[in-house]
Structure formats: structure tokens, C-alpha cells
Structure 1
Amino acid sequence: MKFYEVIKSPLVSEKALNLRDSSPNAGQLVAFRVDRRSKKADIKNAVEKLFNVKVRSVNTANCKGKTVRRGRYVGKKSDWKKAYVTLAPGYNIEDYLNSL
């Protein structure tokens, strides 16, 4: 899998932004929406190559898609995966995140 296929987008939610700003080492915890088939090692390599940083740890979570109803029609949003990436001390990607 190519690096730009693993990371789909940064996760811009209230929880992700609070974790980024309130962690003891502010700016070192970053959340991404990633491909469902990617493993922690793939995510680590992709972040290191794309942003030129060192990654200390990667935590992932699988999120189930919600059921959506539009009148009598029932559908389902797709399942997705998110990754919380902790950067090594001395590294940050604030320039990229502030541009969001």
C-alpha cells in the first residue's frame, strides 16, 4: 500500500482537537482517518515519510458506520478506521495542522 493511500485525511473533531491541545506534550498527538486495511506499522511508516517526523506510538480504532433512514429507505454509512499517532519528543506537525 502506498503512503498516500494509507492516510486519508486528518481527523478534525472536537475530541481530536482537545487531545492535541491538552496533552502534556501539546502538539504531539495527532488523529488521522486511515484506510481500513492498514496496520499500525503501515500508518507509522506513512506518517514518518509524509511529514518527516519520528513516531513514538500508534493507537487505532475501528468505527462502525451508522444506520441512516430517509423516509422508508434504510441505508448504512461505511465503516472507517481512525488512528491516534503520538510523535516523538521534539517533533510536531503544527504547520500542517494549523492550515486546516
Structure 2
Amino acid sequence: MIAQDIVIRPIITEKSMQDITKKKYVFEVAKKATKIDVARAVEELFKGAKVQKVNTVHVRGRLKRQGRFEGYTRSWKKAYVQLTADSKPIEFFEGMM
């Protein structure tokens, strides 16, 4: 897989934006991607970023109802990426602050 296939999108929530000052970022990643794949993809996509560690979480689909019909939302994988102290921050998130 190439880096664009591994990192799908950034997760922009209040909780994820609080950790940006600590250089901790949250991304939706491919379900089959490993921690090593995610680290390499982030370093390749965002020049100057050095990954210290990656934590991943499988998010289960939730049961949703629309009137009498019900179904599940899709399940996906989330990655918490911690950059090193001497790493350059990711500019995409800096514009959000």
C-alpha cells in the first residue's frame, strides 16, 4: 500500500485538538495497516515529521435507527500518532488552532 492508501483522513474533534500542543495527532487509517505502516506513511506524507510512537484502535460500528429501519455504521481503525520533541509539527493541524 502507498501512504495515501494508509492514512485516510485526519480526525478533527475537540478532544483530538487538545493534544496538538503535545504533538499528538489522530488519523483514520486503513483497517489492514500496522503501526509500522502508519508511522512510515505519516513521515512520508508530512515532511519533517518524525514519529515516536503509534497507538491504534478498532472502532466498532454502532447500531443506528431511522424510524423502523435499523442498521450499523461502518467499522474503522483510528491511529494516535505521537511525534518526537525535535520533530516539525504538521502544518495542516496548525491552521485549525
Q: Same fold (TM over 0.5)?
A: yes
* C-alpha distance in 2 between matches for 1:5 and 1:81: 13
Match of 1:30 among 19, 25, 33: 25
Amino acid of the structure 1 residue aligned with 2:34: K
Match of 2:39 among 31, 39, 44: 44
How many angstroms does 1:99 deviate by?
3.4
2:79 matched residue in structure 1: 83
Moved over 3 A (4+): none
- Give the TM-score normalised by the residue count of structure 1: 0.87
2:14 matched residue in structure 1: 14
Structure 2, unmatched stretches of 5+, are none
- Give the TM-score normalised by the residue count of structure 2: 0.89
* C-alpha distance in 2 between matches for 1:82 and 1:44: 13
* C-alpha distance in 2 between matches for 1:78 and 1:62: 11
Identity of aligned residues (%): 32
* C-alpha distance in 1 between matches for 2:34 and 2:25: 17
* 3-state SS of 2:16 partner: helix
Residues 49-98 of structure 1 deviation map (CA, whole Å, 9 limit, x = unaligned): 11122111000111111111111111110001111101112113342113
* C-alpha distance in 2 between matches for 1:49 and 1:99: 20
Residues 9-41 of structure 1 deviation map (CA, whole Å, 9 limit, x = unaligned): 1111121111223xxxx3x11111111111101
* C-alpha distance in 2 between matches for 1:92 and 1:69: 44
